[in-house]
Amino acid sequence: MRGNKMKEVRMDCPGGHGKMMLRKTKKRMTFRGVNIIVPIEQYRCTVCGVEAATVTQAARIQKTMADAYRKTVNLLTGREIVEKRKRLGLTQEALAKRMNVGIASIKRWEGGTIQSKSMDRALRIALGDQSVGDSCTGNREFSIPRIKLVLKEFESVLGKRLLKKNDKFLFAAKYLWYADMVAHREMGESLTGSTYAALPYGPQLNNYKDLIEDIMKADESKAEPLNRGEKRIVTRIALKFPEERMVYDAAHKEKIWKKQPNGAIIPYTDSAELTGF
Ligand SMILES: [Zn+2]
């Protein structure tokens, strides 16, 4: 049907040589500094060789170029995003919610706008791609000073202390876990690189007994500062769980914790299935 429609809008040569011919070719071109080959369908004058595309054709060429580029640099193409999303039975809205982006962003990426590398990672995570990076650390190098920094940030938003002497990290670990998981889900990268184990009293830092003292002693000024997006995640989590009990209870309802056997690592690749946040 589409093909027939295109024939109806046959173009005349702007040089006055009458009707132009529909021509399908493959063009080699440079797009954002990358060589791509793009199948192109447009009109060509058999007399002077001038080429022109209808609005529909031009839009399709743009989309094809964007997808050829994404394929070449290993980003999800618009078509791949649509296919993966539908396979999971997700609407554009549901996917947007998982990633905490507007539905317009999903529409743009599916339509041909090129996503950034980090958004591509977040997209893959939200779309359940199990091969995304390191599922133990959430694609970030483990940093004890950063754990302290994140917990200090929580303390300043919550207006209470989480880092207490002789603390077993019962509550601190839950805030941290949500922050790391949500950052991974929305930005493709955890905040602290921590690995979490499923323990009977909820998600906990793996080997937390060996870590707590080092965390308490750590110099958070040595950690990479939190960027705006990271701070916003901490703030959102703190506002949702103003009481320690709330974050504790929410974590205990998470099926990604429940489904793990006692002591097993909770992979970051499950972050798209968080329900409490
Ligand atoms: Zn012509």
- pLDDT tens profile 10-44: 799 999 999 999 999 999 999 999 999 999 999 99
Place of tokens 């005349």: 12
State the chain's maximal CA–CA distance in angstroms.
87
Q: 153 and 234 in contact (C-beta within 8 Å)?
A: yes
| Model pLDDT, residue 6 | 46
- pLDDT tens profile 43-86: 999 999 999 999 999 999 999 999 999 999 999 999 999 999 99
- pLDDT tens profile 198-240: 999 999 999 898 899 999 999 999 999 999 999 999 999 999 9
Q: 111 and 63 in contact (C-beta within 8 Å)?
A: yes
Q: How far is the CA of 66 from the centre of ligand 1 (A)?
A: 29
Could you tell me the CA-to-CA distances from 222 to 124, 148, 211 in Å, in that order?
A: 31, 10, 17
Q: How far is the CA of 255 from the centre of ligand 1 (A)?
A: 65
Q: How far is the CA of 16 from the centre of ligand 1 (A)?
A: 6
Q: How far is the CA of 35 from the centre of ligand 1 (A)?
A: 29
DSSP annotation string for 202-259: EEEETTHHHHHHHHHH--GGGSPPP-HHHHHHHHHHHHH--SHHHHHHHHHH-HHHHT
Tokens at 14, concatenated: 């702007």
- Would you place residue 9 in the very low, low, confident or very high pLDDT band (cuts 50, 70, 90)? low
As a whole number of angstroms, the distance between CA 18 and CA 26 comes to: 25
Dihedral (Cα; 8, 9, 14, 17), 10-degree rounding = -10
Q: How far is the CA of 106 from the centre of ligand 1 (A)?
A: 41
pTM of the model: 0.75
Q: How far is the CA of 20 from the centre of ligand 1 (A)?
A: 7
